[in-house]
Amino acid sequence: YIKGFVVLESPAPLDVTAVYTAAKPRSFLSPQRVVSVDVEQIAERKLEPPPVKPGDGCPDLVVSDIADSPKVNCPTGAGSCVTTVKFTVSNIGTADAGPFNIRIAIDPGVVLNQFVPGGLPAGASATFTLSTPPGGNCYNPDCTVTIAVDDTNVVEECKEDNNRTSETTPG
């Protein structure tokens, strides 16, 4: 017979059922028969991440606030409308973030980019105000703003799934 074991690792809890059978060796004269069947339940073992040491760590960029509602100004009529969005980006990680890009999508189909060449230190926040070119009236009838920090994934972060937020303001 064969002896062995299997190790399963997963970031989420698993219910695993395993059945194994042992048999006497088969020969010409005796039929194969089951000698034993064992089922064992093993308690879940949780792996803890290693503690963060000073000097270690990673940045974690998030959009922490979209201030107020997007503002629209149409100084000379419909074709001159400009939408202005004010928002705050924070580095909630334990290490400085290097240079990164911010992508702002304002419906219907206006995309703005803001490059942050100096990055953002750990624990710091920065507020940005961006405006569309003329003709960028977001309200049609509502205004949806989607902001993605480090949208090109240049910065290696602790969490990559919290870099985007959307907010819709009724028109």
pLDDT at 68: 79
We report the CATH number of the domain holding residue 88 as 2.60.40.10
Nearest-angstrom CA–CA distance, 109 and 39: 59
Closest CA to 19 of 43, 39, 2: 39
Per-residue confidence band for 98, with pLDDT thresholds at 50, 70 and 90: very high
Task: Give the pLDDT band of residue 88 (cuts 50, 70, 90).
Answer: very high
18 lies in some domain? no
Most confident of 30-44, 73-87, 145-159: 145-159
The domain in which residue 91 lies consists of: 61-169
Whether residue 32 is contained in a domain is answered as no
114 domain residue, yes or no: yes
For residue 137, what pLDDT band results from cuts at 50, 70 and 90? confident
Q: Tell me the average pLDDT across 127-134.
A: 92
Whether 116 maps to a domain, the answer reads yes
User: What's the total number of domains in the chain?
Assistant: 1
Amino acid at 14: L
Residue 26 lies in a domain: no
- Closest listed residue to residue 130, CA positions, set 78, 70, 61: 70
CA-CA distance, 94 to 58, in Å (whole number)? 5
Q: Are 90 and 53 in contact (CB under 8 A)?
A: no
Nearest to 148 by CA among 58, 66, 57: 66
